Structure 1
Amino acid sequence: MDRGSETMGPVAYFSLCLLGCLIFNPSLAGAQDVSCPRGWLPFQGYCYGYFTQEKTWMEAEAECQHHGPEAHLVSIHSAGENNMMSYYIKRYHKKNSPVWIGLWDLEQGKRDDEVGQSPTSASASSGA
């Protein structure tokens, strides 16, 4: 293997791991009976969308923003939201590959925008 191939290895692996985008869009939230776009999942007054295009974290976050100024990769804040996301991902994401989500910094009370600079591994559990 030449030096060029060794250099491309991690880059190729990183881009292949970035499948899926789960969007949380508070601007689509409203009353109890929220009306979400077709194919989106309503949950507790918010809309969640799942997309399978291969993207980096930054590209996935930018894609989410195309759906509304306050749309972001989802940050999970409760056990109920975690269970719903786990079910939703298992139902629609048939591949055994990662899905991007956003992360929330509890100490600073804001999105952790430095997340996505490198891959993070975690497993989701439905609690069942």
Structure 2
Amino acid sequence: MGPTRTLRLGLLGCLLLVPWLRGQELATCAWGWVPSEEGCYGFFPRELSWRRAEAFCQRFGAGTHLASVHSAEEHQAIATLLSSRSGNDSEEEEARDDGIWIGLHRPLGSRRWQWSDSSEVDYGSWHRQPSSRRRACVALQDSADFMTWYSDACADRKPFICKSAA
């Protein structure tokens, strides 16, 4: 394990400890999922279209969807999780080149962005505000350490991150 990976895992541990130190409980999550104040996150390197990724997430039960992001702190926690999952594995590095699906999308015929879990769109981190009507699903941009968003064609296949309700 290299020093960068150790540092990333240490940072993830700190993010998970902060709520505990504040006296807040983290969600109880399924094996392999990461708990946070907002719920549980599961990363899946399997590349699916946005719609198939959303359907995959929903198989984990009511309240589980592609991840919605509602604050800079939650965004940072997700980015840290994704960075810690991206080691020296060439398959994962290849997957990083395409971004990671999250739950933000613009339904066909709509001008408004919506989260797949129907929560309010109250935070954004766009690389560039999208203009194309065709690119109606959103991914975290890997080249920006997952800290910016971009829209892409929903049919494109990407790895994805699910979020279950707390």
Q: Do Structure 1 and Structure 2 share a fold, with TM-score over 0.5?
A: yes
How far does the alpha carbon of each residue in 1:14-72 deviate from its partner, in whole angstroms, 9 at most, with x for none? xxxxxxxxxxxxxxxxx824211111110005111111111110000000000012211
Q: Which has the higher contact order (CA 8 A, sep 6+)?
A: 2
Shift in Å, 1:111: 2.2
Q: Secondary structure at the match of 1:35?
A: coil
Aligned-CA RMSD value = 3.5
Residues in 1 aligned to 2:38 and 2:140: alpha-carbon distance in whole angstroms? 29
Give the gaps of 5 or more residues in structure 2.
Answer: 1-23, 87-91, 107-111, 119-132, 149-166
TM-score, normalised to structure 1's length? 0.58
Q: 1:115 to 1:100 in 2, by over 3 A?
A: farther
Aligned to 1:111: 115
Give the gaps of 5 or more residues in structure 1.
Answer: 1-30
* 2:71 matches 1:78: yes
> Match for 1:69: what amino acid?
A
* 2:114 matches 1:100: no
User: Greater CA deviation, 112-121 or 56-65?
Assistant: 112-121
Write out aligned runs for 1:11-22 (5 A): none
Identity %: 29
More strand by share: 2
TM-score, normalised to structure 2's length? 0.46
Write out aligned runs for 1:39-58 (5 A): 39-58=32-51
